[in-house]
Amino acid sequence: MPAYKKSKKSYGQENANFVGQLVTRGGKIIRRFVRDYDISCDLKEKNIFAALNNGQLKDLQETHALWESHGMHDREMLDKRGIQEHIKSDAYVGGVIDHSGGHFHPLNLALGEASAIQQGGGTIYENTLVVDIEYADDAIKVITEFGTVTCKQAVLCGNAYLNKVIPKLTDRVMPVSTQIIATEPLGDLADQLLPTDVCVEDVRYILDYYRLSADKRMLFGGGTVYGGQDPADITAKIRPNMNRIFPELRDVKIDYAWSGNFALSFSRVPQMGKLHERVYFAHGYSGHGVTGSHLFGQILADAINGKTKEFDAFAQIPWIPFPGGRALRVPYSVMGSWWYALKDTTGM
């Protein structure tokens, strides 16, 4: 269930509207950065949420109606024939196309943004592990393995990788690993499989997500490991999922495979707040943080500059601890995922 669908009931209409706008506002910020800083990151338009059975399609119809009620009119329902105009696969019964969505090369976006920061006078210290933070009334000391930075404000956004550096944040989110494989360049076959070059995710609890790279490789992702460990053989794990959607790719070469961690919050709602008057944090986008982190960055910047309305609205949303705490959250989440996988498979 999308975070904002739940949030209307749990946190009130205003916060639900706010959370519902996360995706579109974040996407607009990214497009502005790409334009203003002339970032080459193969930005392409539109994405599809795909349903594998009628139960999922019905859920999508309800979600679509909810989106509309929040003034989000960029999304359009697709039936089986409609979705096949975008994805040449028999796997789906329909879906939703989001005309405001999109996809791009994320590392190249990050590199372009880093370069813009440097051109604006900022300094980036790569490969410099923060090991502790000390707060005093007039200054914050960020202690790294190589030295200490004293600053007026600090924003902690280590997400799934912050580990135990800030104990107060450790329990709020759980690292989860997800994996991607990249085929060899597919040439014309790529255009046949995804003729409109959209990116796709299905709506299962443990989902497939995929898109074409600029050099026409299929980048196919999925898999979830609670706790954040890498699977021993990423290709062996992900390839069967890709073959199920696109049997035509059964014999193509897999050139690359990788994994990384995202930070899952129990409610799936991302979190931001303060640990100290001038120490902020933001994390827990639960696998959808590319746009979310851009919006949160804007909200944090506004808050630091004295415009706190949106920060205050978000910071008041209560976070829900994982059942079982740090010791048991992984096995409990695995058990929960089995239940949702059963629902997804049977279409309950």
Ligand X SMILES: Cc1cc2nc3c(=O)[nH]c(=O)nc-3n(C[C@H](O)[C@H](O)[C@H](O)COP(=O)(O)OP(=O)(O)OC[C@H]3O[C@@H](n4cnc5c(N)ncnc54)[C@H](O)[C@@H]3O)c2cc1C
Contacts with ligand X by CB under 6 A lie at 129-130, 157-162, 165, 178, 180, 209, 221, 259-262, 283, 285, 287-291, 293
Counting every residue, how long is the chain?
A: 348
Is the CB of 11 or the CB of 285 nearer to ligand X? 285
CB of 324 to ligand X, least distance (A): 23
Residues 6+ apart with CB under 8 A from 291: 22, 23, 25, 26, 27, 29, 30
Residues 6+ apart with CB under 8 A from 174: 226, 227, 228, 263, 264, 322, 329, 330, 333
Is the CB of 127 or the CB of 346 nearer to ligand X? 127
CB of 46 to ligand X, least distance (A): 14
- Phi/psi class of residue 340: alpha, beta or left (left: φ > 0; alpha: ψ in -120 to 50)? alpha
Is the CB of 94 or the CB of 284 nearer to ligand X? 284
Query: Looking at residue 163, what DSSP letter applies?
Result: T
Sheet order of strands, 174-183 included: 75-78, 94-103, 44-51, 199-202, 209-212, 218-226, 174-183, 254-264
Tokens of 260: 């990384």
CB of 224 to ligand X, least distance (A): 10
Is the CB of 241 or the CB of 261 nearer to ligand X? 261
Q: Are 187 and 267 in contact (CB under 8 A)?
A: no
Q: Cα separation of 312 and 110, whole Å?
A: 27
* Amino acid, res. 32: R
Tokens of 218: 């299929």
C-beta nearest to ligand X: residue: 289
Tokens of 306: 């004295």
Strand, coil or helix: 206: coil
Is the CB of 162 or the CB of 198 nearer to ligand X? 162
Is the CB of 18 or the CB of 296 nearer to ligand X? 296
Strand, coil or helix: 263: strand
Q: Cα separation of 53 and 80, whole Å?
A: 10
Is the CB of 68 or the CB of 132 nearer to ligand X? 132
Assign 3-state DSSP to the chain and report helix, strand, coil percentages, each to 5.
Answer: 40, 25, 35
Is the CB of 268 or the CB of 329 nearer to ligand X? 268
CB of 257 to ligand X, least distance (A): 10
**Alpha-carbon dihedral sign for residues 239, 242, 247, 251:** negative
Is the CB of 94 or the CB of 221 nearer to ligand X? 221
CB of 50 to ligand X, least distance (A): 14
CB of 58 to ligand X, least distance (A): 25
Q: Cα separation of 198 and 211, whole Å?
A: 7
CB of 287 to ligand X, least distance (A): 5
CB of 12 to ligand X, least distance (A): 25
CB of 130 to ligand X, least distance (A): 4
